[in-house]
Amino acid sequence: MSTSSIQPILPGFRLNGRRALVTGAGAGIGAAIAAALAEAGAEVVMMSLREDELNDTAGLIRSAGGHVTTCACDVTDSAMVRRLIGGLPNLDIIVNNAGTNIPEPFLEVSDKNLDFMCNLNVRAAFVVAQAAVRKMLEDTERATKGGVVINITSQMGHVGSPGRTVYCMNKHATEGLTKAMAVELAPQNIRVNSVGPTFVDTPLVRSIVDTEEKRQFLFSKIPMGRLATVQDIAAAVLYLASPAAAMVTGAALLVDGGWTAQ
């Protein structure tokens, strides 16, 4: 490589002029993702069920110089999701982050919990992605501008684990959706990838990992020997959302401290 062919890399991580939508953006991983995208220059639409959390997080991002708007919405309400996303002026990036887990033994899973998790983790993610891609395709400059879909899945979309049968099923499904969308939408210059975190240090995880025995089990499975931070996940999303990842689609970026490498 000659010096004349060396091109700067860092500008490719900027998102100036892009509009991004993040679901589940009120707290935890979603809030960190919204903050990272805003820091990189994106206009961020934050969507979540709890308006109070949205407003608190949006205030912090604005105080740091970011540009965000908020949208209180239950992502399992398909009609509302389609109406709100369809009403945006344009959309370049969608981060499908809303989701949950209810750990319990396979034989004790109730129909109520099964339906709730499948509706939120799979069906809602599909509807959000579909509505977002429809909005992206309205842009007459899409062929050159490109679009990005990022599904937040889990390391549990690649392995199995006791007490998490429904969650594993949901996240494996979303990994499959990611790959199928990537192949189908590549001709429209829309990239589709997933980010698969390990256990992240959030209030939700702390409420689940509530004993020393559970903590020791987790740390024994993570070669890096710690939980991930929300910033670890946000950094991975920022890369995939940016032009720096222009040739990356259909990929699963695992941020799991080595869990799935074993």
Instruction: Enumerate the active-site residues.
Output: 167, 171
> Chain centroid to CA 246: how far?
18
Residue 71 falls in which region: left (phi positive, over 0), alpha (psi -120 to 50) or beta: beta
The rounded distance, in Å, linking the Cα atoms of 38 and 67 is 6
Kindly give, in sequence order, each residue whose CB lies less than 8 Å from that of residue 225, ignoring residues fewer than 6 positions away.
Answer: 219, 257
Q: Please report how many Cα atoms fall inside a 13 Å half-sphere around the Cα of residue 88, on the Cβ side.
A: 31
> Chain centroid to CA 42: how far?
16
Whole-number CA gyration radius for the chain: 18
If DSSP codes are grouped into helix, strand and coil, which group holds residue 46? strand
The rounded distance, in Å, linking the Cα atoms of 194 and 254 is 8
Residue 195 contacts residue 240 (beta carbons within 8 Å): yes
State the chain's maximal CA–CA distance in angstroms.
64
If DSSP codes are grouped into helix, strand and coil, which group holds residue 241? helix
The pair of structure tokens assigned to 28 is: 């935890």
The residue among 202, 199, 203, 229 whose CA lies nearest residue 214 is 199
If DSSP codes are grouped into helix, strand and coil, which group holds residue 9? coil
